[in-house]
Structures are given as structure tokens and as C-alpha cells.
Amino acid sequence: MVYKTPCHLLPFAFFLLGFVLISSLAQPIPTTFVNVTTYGARPDGSTDSSKAFLAAWHVACTSAQATTIIVPAGRFLVGNLVFQGNKCTSAPISIHIAGTIIAPEDYRVIAKSEQWIWFTGVTDVSIYGGILDAQGTSLWECKTNGHGNCPSGAKTLLFTASNNININGLTSINSQKFHIVLDTCNNVNISGVHVSADANSPNTDGIHVQSSRSVYIGNSSIGTGDDCISIGPGSTSIHINNIRCGPGHGISIGSLGSAEEEQGVEDVTVSNVDFSGTYNGVRIKTWGKNSNSFARNIVFQHINMNRVNNPIIIDQHYCLREPCLKTESGVEISNVRYQDIHGTSNTDVAVILDCSKEKPCTDIEMSNVNLSLVNEPAHAACENANGLANDVVPFTPCLKKDSLMK
């Protein structure tokens, strides 16, 4: 005999079924924990633990459940690591690092592949805490001493073709080249990171973003021998907030226009940044050559400069090696806002808008800007830029005064 629910009890039955379904959804997702020491990693700083890290990744990658990879306290030596996501399930992977991951002392070991720790094609990966020490000082010395056989160097942490990435509380020190790189990534959150390299270390950008969308970088301290943060071609919807930058070359959009056919940069907001002793503050730089690239819809706001060589600079004649040909950039720079920027310049010219004759900078707006030498007035230099200014010191001569600007 089949039992049938009486009609007057049907509403209660549906309510009970809904309660059970909602309760089951409210339960935390089961998480698998994987410790790299289980697969042979040794926290002694001398045993190569590369295979153990890759074995732990394989377990996490193929798991149907969310997985946390544990890197306990200690020093773990690893060579080049490639974490591939093409065979992974859709379950999230978290990597919790309590210790330090170090590269081999011989810089050639990781420099030969140009990246040390590489995640490619991954989704829903989070890294929490820990220290990455690329031990790049010997390579810096090789480069600065003019040895012609020095390799370019390895990026410390690279994400390519990846989505939904979270990096929180990570420290990166002594990178051979760039510290953290995002290339062709979407929906990335970087928060609470600390990046450190010697002020004279070459090409050690703190965080570099290119061909990526919807990236947040915040609440971080970056001091390097190159840009604290650099934003390359093809990047859009980039938000940078609450950064301490120095030493270094500031926060840069570009360089752009190295190729004639190149994607541009748009929708970038840089807020609440303290620059201290940096070579540049906020910078847009483009090569002086033909290009269809662009930089547009950029906001620099709520920024403090402390003895910065070039607090505000647009350089459309960027060149790395002398002599530089004074050719004109084809990159279009438009709709750039400078708001609430104060502090001191380390040079007489605090504002430089060096724009292209071929493609002048348009729709530049400055408001509530006050920059000076220590206890002395500073100056501004401006070529081929159009826009408005209000309450700006030093006043930029090619911008029109507009008291109605907010």
C-alpha cells in the first residue's frame, strides 16, 4: 500500500522539505587538508622539496572537495614549480603557508625558466601568509657589475590565464625579477602583502599586472628597486588602495606603445597611497613610437608624497637607453584625474606633463594639488596637454583654470 500525505498536511510537508534543503546548504563545505611534509617536504632549508609540493598540488587539484594545502613552519627549498589547472576539478584550493619557501642559492637554477613559482590555468586558488625568498641578491650583483652573461631572472610568483585568485598576507623578498605577476587573469584580490628588495635591485617590480581585468590591490607595503606597482597593456578595472610605496619607482601605467598593435589600459583608480623617497609618484609612460594603444579613465586621488623625485609625471617619450630618439608617441592619453595630492618633491619640477605632439593628452583634470620643495616653491612643466585645473600648486601652465571644478 502506498501512503499518501493528507491534503491538509501538504503545506507542512513542503515546508519541512524546504527546511531540510536550506539546512543542508547552510552546512560548511567539507575541506580536505594536505600537508606537504606528508609527501616528503623537509623544513630544513637544504632538502629539495619540489616533488613534495607538486604531489600535494596533484591531490588538491583532483579532489572533488575544497582542499587546503598546508606548508608548516620551517624553511622549504624548492626549484621551479609549475602548478597547472587544466586537469583540476572545480573545487577551491587554499594554500596556507606558515613557513618560508626559498629558492636555491645558485640563481641560475630558477633563472633558466624565467619564473620560479607559476600557476597557470587555475581557478579559485587562494594563498595565505608565508614568505617567498627568491635569494636574488647574487643575480643583482651580477647585473650591476656589468657581467654580460647574466640571465634576465625569474619572476617569483606568476599567475597566467587564471580566475578568482586571492593572495592575502604573503611576503615576497629578494626576487630575481618581478615579485608578483598577473598575466591574463580575471577577478584577483591581493591584500596585506609585503614586498621587499634592495633599492638598487634591477627590474624587481613589486606587483605587475597585464592583460587582466577586475584586479584589487590593497593594504600593502612595497619597497623595491623598480615600480612598486606597474600596469601593462590590456588591463582594465584595476583598483589600488592603501599602499605604502618606497623605495622604488612609484606606481606606473605602462610602459605602453612598444608595439604598433597593442591593447590599452582603462578604468584604473589609485587611492590612498603614501610615497616615500621614490623616484616617481604616479606615472604614465609610453614609448615614443607609432602605436594604437591608449590610457584612459584614470584616477589618482588622496595621495601623499614625501621627497619624491617626480611626484606627478606623464612621460610620452619614455626611453631606456641613451641616446634616445625624440620621436612622438601614438598612444592616446585621455580622461586622467589628479585629486587631493599633497607633499614634497625632491626636485624643482614637481609636475611633468610631457605629452605627444602627435596625440596630445586630453581631458586632464587637477584639483586640490599642492606640491613643493621642502620649504620652497616647486615648478611644473607641460607640453601638449589640455584640460582643467583648480586649486593646484604649482600651477600647470597648459591647463585652464576652472573654479567650478569639484
State how far the Cα of 201 lies from the Cα of 99, in Å rounded to an integer.
25
Active site residue 249: yes
Q: 157 with 131: CB under 8 angstroms?
A: no
- Using alpha carbons only, give the angle 319, 336, 321 rounded to the nearest 5 degrees: 5
CA-based radius of gyration for the chain: 25
Helix (H) or strand (E) run with residue 13 in it: helix 10-26
Number of other residues whose CB lies within 10 A of the CB of residue 75:
17
State how far the Cα of 308 lies from the Cα of 345, in Å rounded to an integer.
5
Neighbour-count burial of 303, counting CB atoms closer than 10 A to its CB (0-12 exposed, 13-18 middle, 19+ buried): buried
Q: 90 with 123: CB under 8 angstroms?
A: yes
Decide: helix, strand or coil at residue 140. helix
Which of 249, 302, 317, 342 is flagged as catalytic?
249
Tell whether the torsion through CA atoms of 250, 253, 254 and 257 is positive or negative: negative
| Grid coordinates of 234 | 590590456
| Grid coordinates of 380 | 611644473
- Concatenated DSSP letters for 340-355? EEEEEESSSEEEEEE-
State how far the Cα of 187 lies from the Cα of 213, in Å rounded to an integer.
6
State how far the Cα of 77 lies from the Cα of 261, in Å rounded to an integer.
42
Decide: helix, strand or coil at residue 148. coil
**Catalytic residue numbers?**
249
